Structure 1
Amino acid sequence: MRLLVTGAAGLLGRELLRTADHEVVPAYHSQVVPGGVQFDVRRRDVVREVIRSVRPDGIIHTAYKRDDWAATADGAVNVALEADGARLVFVSSDAVFGPREAAYTEHELPCPITPYGAAKAAAETAILAIRPGAVIARTSIIVGSDGRSGEEQRVRRFAAGEPGVFYTGNIRCPVHVSDLASALLELLVSDVIGVTHVAGPQAISRFDLGRLIALRDGLDPQALPSAPGTPSNIRLDSRGTQDVLQTRLRPASEFLLSRR
């Protein structure tokens, strides 16, 4: 399969490039990826030109910009509009939901409360209308092993005394980047269509996640500042998707303690 990976310079994009057993063409916006193509998803003409040039059999669309509707929502729509004939996997987010006590399952409709969540929800809706055979892969906080993820960087900064806190009332279902990449590559070649949830099975606060990262990296977890923050419990129930995957989505406490 000839695979186009957008957002190839990001944490998830790099992992897909490293692990994909396909002919992969990386697409990047500003940070150059060797062997890749420059790709501004906000411009449909550029998206059309790149896709027609690459002629991919599959596309995994990871590109987004949190504070940019055009990049996150319109860009995803541009890719869907031009992806004729290619299997499309779109990486979405738990931000399409608002806080509640019960976990969200795959069949539930978005109910975002933030601009970023609204952009991802708009992209989901448009993609499913344009490409009914596409896969929407909602995920949560992504953690790596090399210190490059946002959570790992925050742990190092806050442990060093920089301003900021981890919120004990912010609950998510973190996933390891290698588990996520493996699951997306499985979904790419599967017959699954529609919405999937690809997050870890363990609901954990950002503070407790930070403490686990600190322990893994030999830092003092007691040095991490915490505060309750506004309660924000957003959990993805990924059991339905896990049942169709060979990739096991590991809990944070396992993948952080294993140092993988």
Structure 2
Amino acid sequence: MRFLIVGGSGLLGGELARQCSTGGHDVAATYLSRSGGTEGVAWSPLDVRRREDVGALIAAWRPEVVINAAYRQTDWATTATGAAHVALAATAAGARLVQVSSDAVFSGAAIHYDETCVPDPITPYGAAKAAAETAVNAIAPTAVTARTSLIIGDGGSPHEALVHALATGRVRGALFTDDVRCPVHVVDLAAALLELAVSDHHGIHHVAGADAVSRYELGRLLARRDGLDADRLPSARRADAGVPGPTDVRLECGLTQRRLRTRLRGAREFLR
């Protein structure tokens, strides 16, 4: 099949491109400022904020599947408007669309969220992701929108970098003990997204790890995996620090997991 990974130079996009390439698919991927290093991938620069450029690239590549993993937490135009541009172009080209969303669309007030829960974001990034979901649903109702949580790799994620910096004293800060998510390994997430991409499912799917852990517990698990002193990691409570944002957000993934061959491991397993 012909795949286009939008945002292919990021952690998730790079893993999607790698799995597509090793699976024998024709794959192209986009980047904003620096291309990825995956061999066998056709790399193209793309700013999803430019509707004409998105349409031209998708029309030229003629993909059967488009996976949109592009986002910038501080940029509404990339995260929300860009998703609409991708959805419009994918629909015009007759391509299957998978939109990557986030647990940031939820406030944390309910703690447990399944696929039927209505977004109630309390941060600008969460609002942008919720707007992207609405646009995709309106433009491409047969698309899959996959909400996920903290994405962890084998050293390449922002949370892993933060844990290393805190454990070695390079930065000051703390990991919150009351900020709970369901981290997912990037390999599991990419495999699940590719399964959904070639299925006949549509609509909202939750694709996150099986374990709900705090950022502090996650940090300790990462430190132990990487041979760092977990006891050097400082802890705090988000509620006491006054940092805005959701605290306890747990994606219920049972419905999606029953549709997948890929097993969504929990952090306590994949970091063991």
State the TM-score bracket (shorter-chain normalisation): over 0.9
Q: Distance in 1 between matches of 2:69 and 2:234?
A: 31
Is 1:150 equivalent to 2:158 in the alignment? yes
Residue of structure 2 equivalent to 1:192 = 201
Residue of structure 1 equivalent to 2:140 = 131
Q: For structure 2, list consecutive stretches of 5 or more residues without a partner in the other structure.
A: 240-245
Q: Identity of aligned pairs, percent?
A: 55
Q: Distance in 1 between matches of 2:119 and 2:137?
A: 13
Alignment deviations for residues 197-221 of structure 1 (CA, whole Å, 9 cap, x no partner): 0001111000000000000000000
Q: Distance in 1 between matches of 2:192 and 2:120?
A: 25
Instruction: Give yes or no for contact 2:145–2:204 (8 Å, CA) kept in 1.
Output: yes
Kindly state the Cα deviation for residue 101 of structure 1 after the two structures are TM-superposed.
Answer: 4.7
Residue of structure 1 equivalent to 2:15 = 15
Residue of structure 2 equivalent to 1:98 = 107
Q: Distance in 2 between matches of 1:5 and 1:19?
A: 11
Residue of structure 1 equivalent to 2:214 = 205
| TM-score where L is the length of structure 1 | 0.97
Alignment deviations for residues 67-114 of structure 1 (CA, whole Å, 9 cap, x no partner): 000000000000001112000000000000001354100011111000
Aligned residues: 256
1:249 to 264, 268, 272: 264
Is 1:75 equivalent to 2:43 in the alignment? no
Is 1:160 equivalent to 2:171 in the alignment? no
Residue of structure 2 equivalent to 1:229 = 238
Q: Distance in 2 between matches of 1:129 and 1:123?
A: 10
Q: Distance in 2 between matches of 1:125 and 1:111?
A: 13
Residue of structure 2 equivalent to 1:29 = 32
Alignment deviations for residues 212-234 of structure 1 (CA, whole Å, 9 cap, x no partner): 00000000000000001227101
Q: In structure 2, the residue corresponding to 1:92 is in which secondary structure?
A: strand
Is 1:120 equivalent to 2:129 in the alignment? yes
| Aligned amino acid, residue 30 of structure 1 | S
CA RMSD of aligned residues (A): 1.0
Q: Distance in 1 between matches of 2:45 and 2:224?
A: 38
Q: In structure 2, the residue corresponding to 1:233 is in which secondary structure?
A: coil
Q: For structure 1, list consecutive stretches of 5 or more residues without a partner in the other structure.
A: none
| TM-score where L is the length of structure 2 | 0.92
Q: Distance in 2 between matches of 1:24 and 1:151?
A: 28
Q: Distance in 1 between matches of 2:64 and 2:211?
A: 34
Q: In structure 1, the residue corresponding to 2:204 is in which secondary structure?
A: strand
Q: Distance in 1 between matches of 2:101 and 2:268?
A: 23
Which range is displaced more, 224-233 or 135-144?
224-233
Kindly state the Cα deviation for residue 177 of structure 1 after the two structures are TM-superposed.
Answer: 0.2
The 5 A counterparts of 1:56-75 are 56-75=63-82
